[in-house]
Amino acid sequence: MRTERSNMKSKRAQLFRMVGGHLYSLKHWSAVSRLVVCGLSGLLLIACATEKKDFMTSARELESRTLFAPAMKQYEEAIEENPNNAEAYYRIGALANEIGNTEFAAQKFRQALNIDANHPGAKRALSTYHINRGTIARQQGRLSTARSELQAAVGVDPGSSVAQLELGRVHEAEGSLDRALHAYIASAEADPHNIDTQLALGQSYLAQKQYAEAETALKAVLDANPDRAEAYTGLGEAYFHQGKKQAARQSFEQAIRHYLLAGRRDLAKQVQEKADALFPPASDTKK
């Protein structure tokens, strides 16, 4: 009996060890499974994050292939990921410009600047938008509208030489010569090599009877482009009013010569009349 009981105890112990081992194995595999699942989840999250970071790159690649609609969609995805992505707003605006939707483009440029007030591309693009509208309005004689548009352009980008130049032309057309001169000076400071600005500045100085300043500006024009006949005309006037009579005659002669070379006999005649008024022909009635 005693031996039989001992055998039963031994069998029960063996059974418990077997069950315990299986339970341990189940727990072990459960833990491993959880680690695997977590690892896969982590990899999926990393993949998703990588995909999000690639929205801008993908959009630029599509844009380079002129696939504008898909590119715009990718930029929109980038904005959904990060609503403060000023570059994405700017790029959407640039694409809209490409297809001629300038109003929508301007809206996107403004959104980019609301996020980053110094975004160079958005500043330049929005300023150009207002410059174009202002220039067209000036050419059509709608001076009030032109002034508003060009003031908006200057407000967006005060360092735009072209915006200041066009605003000066509007002020000049309105008869506000002091404001025109101020705008031309600002344009020249923004870009000293802008020849159109230097010409307008020289002519504005002439209108204000600031002849030495006019001479400096008009010489800068001719240093850059010796064929600008209108600069010779203005320089002749500046010389004359400073008492430099011989230099004035030579400048008027140069203006006439360049106008004739360009086939503009009408303008050559106007310069000749101006020179004759300043230098009346000597009287031949002496007896």
What DSSP assignment string belongs to 44-93?
HHHHHHHHHHTHHHHHHHHHHTT-HHHHHHHHHHHHHH-TT-HHHHHHHH
Kindly state whether residue 135 falls inside one of the protein's structural domains: no
Residue 14: per-residue pLDDT: 54
Is-contact 126 109, C-beta < 8 A? yes
Task: Assess contact for 121 and 144: CB atoms under 8 A.
Answer: no
Residue 61 counted as domain residue: yes
Neighbours of 64 (CB within 10 A): 9
Residue 11 covered by a domain: no
* Integer Cα distance of 274 and 253 in angstroms: 11
- Find the helix or strand (DSSP H, E) in which 152 lies: helix 143-156
Say whether pLDDT at 129 is over 60.
Answer: yes
CA atoms of 227 and 200, how far apart (whole Å): 16
In a domain, 85, yes or no: yes
Note the pLDDT of residue 262: 94
Residue 64's domain spans which residues?
55-117
Contacts of 167 (CB under 8 A, 6+ apart): 134, 147, 150, 151, 153, 154, 183
CA distance 249 to 232: 10
Buried-exposed string 118-134: b where 16+ CB fall within 10 A, e elsewhere: ebeebbbbbbbbbbebb
Q: Does residue 75 form part of some domain?
A: yes
Find the mean pLDDT for residues 133-146: 97
* Number of domains within the chain: 1
For residue 19 the two structure tokens come to 């069950």
Task: Please give the pLDDT value at position 131.
Answer: 97
CATH of the domain at 86: 1.25.40.10
d(CA 23, CA 102): 71
Whether residue 236 lies inside any domain: the answer is no
60 within some domain? yes
pLDDT digits (tens, 9 = 90+) for 74-113: 889 889 889 999 999 999 999 999 889 999 999 999 999 9
235 domain residue, yes or no: no
pLDDT tens-digit series, residues 215-257? 999 999 999 999 999 999 999 999 999 999 999 999 999 999 9
Segment 54-68 mean pLDDT: 80
Output the average pLDDT for the chain. Answer: 84
